[in-house]
Amino acid sequence: MLAKKGIKLAQNRLRARKRFGQNFLQDERVIADIIAAIDPQAEQHLVEIGPGRGAITQFLVQACRQLDVIELDRDLIPLLQNKLGQYPQLHIHQADALAFDYGVLPTAQEKLRVIGNLPYNITTPLLFHLLSQGHIIEDMCFMLQLEVVRRICAQPGSKTYGRLSIMVQYQCEAMELFTVPPEAFEPVPKVDSAIIYLKPLSQFCGGDMPIAALSTVVTQAFSQRRKTISNTLKNIMSLTVLEQLNIDMKQRPETISVAQYVAITKAWLLEQADN
């Protein structure tokens, strides 16, 4: 009786927790498609964020030189250790992915490949945290909410093109690979998901600049999305500067390209320095 009670308690502890935003992937065909998209190689150093019950982990660990997994839920650590502890190339970190220093993982000149089924509630801050360390990352392959993937990959002129599109595309290539239905998870989420591929750029779109400055300009530009770019930016910079950049004053914020926003930000920084 005690043994059965112990098993039941263990199972309860391994249920998805809403506070961690957990939805465990369980569809074998989807898992196979993800592994094929990642295409892990024997000499590579991989990092998996949120391994959960190890659905993807069990395949990654057999295919690479080293796999570091970052898991916040301490109750999942024993499960991962029992399931995959026989692999010396596996390193389990009980830690918050949002605060983790990924710079401690690579050795010599190697770069990391980062994978994960990311909790929807931390997607944006986690992406920016990783991109701030983009110089040590070769590429990233994530499961995200479909709506977020579409926003990240959106092009100028699209209704979904906005701050997230610009800030991510300034720093990396972004590509939607395929969608994943809610039924592939346990528990079943209320939204569709998608796999996105991100590759940090060695040269940022339009040139280097402080990320915070670009964020300030883009946030201001989209503060009143339906207004023209001249109306949204007139409070922080001279419109003469925009005209000198050949920006049409009647354009709306969602029609301005990433490279144009970079040029606007550079001009704004120069204007700030002169004043």
Q: 169, 205 in Cβ contact below 8 A?
A: yes
- Helix, strand, coil percentages (3-state) for the chain, rounded to 5, are 45, 20, 35
CA distances 159 to 147, 156, 232, Å, are 12, 9, 18
Structural domain boundaries of the chain? 2-200, 211-274
- pLDDT at residue 22 in the model: 59
- pLDDT at residue 14 in the model: 54
- pLDDT at residue 242 in the model: 86
Q: 143, 34 in Cβ contact below 8 A?
A: yes
Nearest to 114 by CA among 127, 96, 125: 127
Pick the CATH number of 211-274 from 3.10.20.740, 1.10.8.100, 3.40.50.1220, 3.30.450.20: 1.10.8.100
**Paired tokens of 190:** 């209320």
Q: 273, 266 in Cβ contact below 8 A?
A: no
Nearest to 93 by CA among 73, 69, 75: 69
SS (H, E, C) 145-188: EHHHHHHHHCCCCCCCCCHHHHHHHHHEEEEEEEEECHHHEECC
Domain 2-200 has what CATH class?
A: alpha beta
- pLDDT at residue 59 in the model: 97
Q: Coil, strand, or helix at residue 194?
A: strand
Q: 265, 212 in Cβ contact below 8 A?
A: no
Q: Which residues of the chain have pLDDT under 70?
A: 1-22
- pLDDT at residue 127 in the model: 96
- pLDDT at residue 77 in the model: 94
- pLDDT at residue 150 in the model: 97
